[in-house]
Chain A
Amino acid sequence: MNILKIENLTVKANEKEILKDFNLEIKSGEIHVIMGPNGTGKSTLTKVIMGDKNYKIVKGKITYNGKNINKMEVYERARMGIFLGMQLPLEIEGVSNADFLRTALREKEKENFKLLSFIKEIESLTSKLHMDKEMIHRGINEGFSGGERKKNEILQMNILKPDVVLLDEIDSGLDVDSLKLVGESVMEYFNERKPAILLVTHYQRLLDYIKPDFIHVMYDGHIVLSGDKTLALKIEKEGYDKIVGNIHE
């Protein structure tokens, strides 16, 4: 059982407080969804967990299986099994997807890395995610559409097999078919490996495919309301203003 615990976390970027006394605990086999209006710190939360140095932790701690990871490097967190599927995956010219993933997997698996299995898995995943087989030889996200970039994040997740999956608006930029494909792929990965998943989304529609255990509403840097899947439906029906307003009244 892996446990990611965030306790009283306050985070600043450019002297502005973004996360304020934030608390959350995620365990293996749980899917947590963070929803909330724009600018409330949802993406910041995922980046801080991953160790982005643009954000400064001024108070509180993030622990993974009891170990404080506040000062851990990004790659150390990744090697421990934390994965961030990004909202806007970068295009990196010249660095091929194959080279990148092979290097990343080699770092993770060391002497257990097997090139043939890697190639076979890539082939199977590109086919499953309806991706162009040639994309693996192109630069990372080079010339990819928004949807292809998101699929590439899911492909990387499947290759690296993390225990904690952070997915930041993985549904943005996806058409209905791709949304279904990505949603089902995430759920399939969840059913196979039972990771802890933290999903950031604006829309209930992704939750038609990914079945969450908890929905949290984030506002002004912390969680103001938690519930089950029905909360997402309520948000979609009533909007954040009403729900957050009710809490503050």
Chain B
Amino acid sequence: MNKITINLEDIKLESTDGIEVVIGEASKFLNVQSVKIKIFKDTDIFIVSNNVDIKLDFYINVLEGVRSNIYEIKHEGDYKFQYKYYLEKDSYLNIEKINDGNNIKEMTIINLNGENARVDFNLKTVSKNEEKYNFLVYHNALNTSSNILNNGVNIMDGVLEFNVSGFVSNRIKGCNINQKARIINLTENTCVVKPNLFIDEVDTVANHSAHIGTFKDEELFYLMSRGLDKENALKLLIKGFLLKGITNKDDLENIVNKYWG
């Protein structure tokens, strides 16, 4: 199992099966560390961050025909991370990310450079302070697909923002872009979703949806009509919302229990 652990300023690598990893400095002047990962065969990668105290740039390159899963989780800490993904021909990358940091700023740039490259991105976050996520998804080759799902529960002093932009240039035919963002805002604070599609090619299938709000009264009524009090009904709805589509549910269940008992 490939595992990268980041504690405070320390980046550790456990095993390298199907990947090459280079850990270094992206910018000495700006004090930014970097992790460069080349994925050359089908594999899974786990990235676990705790109390991180550094700025970090990830460069992740998925080679031709390779299928990979990246499971990432962040605990505590203030994060300023940047991710650049490069997907070659016929490659597939599934990214599942669980965030439970204090403050998070992320920039994610996905380059679908090879024909038929496909990315599924699924973010779940519990936002307690300031969290801002920017995405730039470039469909640079024919028949490429991106599926970007961002789900967050905003609590306490949380201010959560998702900005997602997808790009398809003229003559890049057969692309499929899907962007979905939903924020359950349990505060009076303002949350933002900005879905953008910059498409200059008619042969493209594009969908986007954005939702900010709480759960529906009908959902609460349904659960409460079976004997769940409001607190338990809400917890169940939050759990369902966060766990949906996530493979490693245990970590996320622990996070739900941490905030909702």
Contacts and interface: CB of A to CB of B under 8 A. Distances in A.
Interface of A: 50-54, 73-75, 77-79, 83-84, 86, 89-90, 92-96, 99-101, 103-104, 107-108, 139-140, 156, 160
Nearest to A79: B227
Contacts of A51: 225
A86 B241 CA distance: 23
B260 interface: no
Contact of B236 (A52, A74, A84, A95): A95
Contact of A95 (B217, B218, B224, B240): B240
Nearest to A90: B222
B226 A73 contact: no
29 contacts: A51-B225, A54-B217, A73-B229, A73-B230, A75-B224, A75-B225, A75-B228, A78-B224, A78-B227, A90-B218, A92-B219, A92-B223, A92-B240, A93-B240, A93-B241, A93-B244, A94-B240, A94-B242, A95-B223, A95-B237, A95-B239, A96-B240, A100-B223, A101-B226, A104-B223, A107-B227, A107-B228, A140-B222, A160-B227
Contacts of B178: none
A92 to B, nearest CB: 6
Interface residues of B, number: 23
B227 A52 contact: no
Contacts of A139: 240, 244
A100 B226 contact: yes
Given A99-B236, A139-B244, A104 B217 contact: no
Which of A53, A90, A92, A93 has the largest number of chain B CB atoms within 10 A? A92
B163 interface: no
B243 A94 contact: yes
B241 A89 contact: no
Nearest to B216: A90
A94 B228 contact: no
B244 to A, nearest CB: 3
Interface in B221-261: 221-230, 232-233, 236-237, 239-244
Nearest to A50: B225
Given A95-B236, A100-B236, A74 B224 contact: yes
Contacts of A84: 225
Contacts of B241: 93-94
A59 to B, nearest CB: 23
Given A75-B229, A104-B226, 16 more contacts: A50-B225, A51-B225, A53-B217, A74-B221, A75-B228, A77-B225, A78-B227, A84-B225, A90-B218, A92-B237, A94-B242, A104-B227, A107-B227, A107-B232, A108-B227, A140-B222
A86 B228 contact: no
Nearest to A107: B227
Nearest to A84: B225
Contacts of A96: 240
A107 B230 CA distance: 12
Contacts of A103: 228, 232, 236
Query: Which of B217, B225, B232, B241 has the most chain A CB atoms closer than 10 A to its own CB?
Result: B225
Q: Pick the 10 closest A-B CB pairs, nearest first.
A: A94-B240, A95-B240, A94-B244, A78-B227, A74-B224, A104-B226, A75-B224, A75-B229, A79-B227, A107-B227
Given A53-B217, A92-B219, A160 B240 contact: no
B126 to A, nearest CB: 15
Given A96-B240, A103-B232, A156 B222 contact: no
Contact of A75 (B218, B227, B237, B243): B227
Nearest to B223: A100
Contacts of A104: 223, 226-228
Contacts of A52: 221
A223 B31 CA distance: 77
A108 B227 CA distance: 7
A160 B237 contact: no
Interface in B174-222: 217-219, 221-222
B260 to A, nearest CB: 12
A13 to B, nearest CB: 13
Contact of A90 (B219, B224, B228): B219
A78 B220 CA distance: 13
B45 to A, nearest CB: 25
Q: Among B221, B233, B242, find the residue whose CB has the most chain A CB atoms closer than 10 A.
A: B221
Interface in B2-59: none
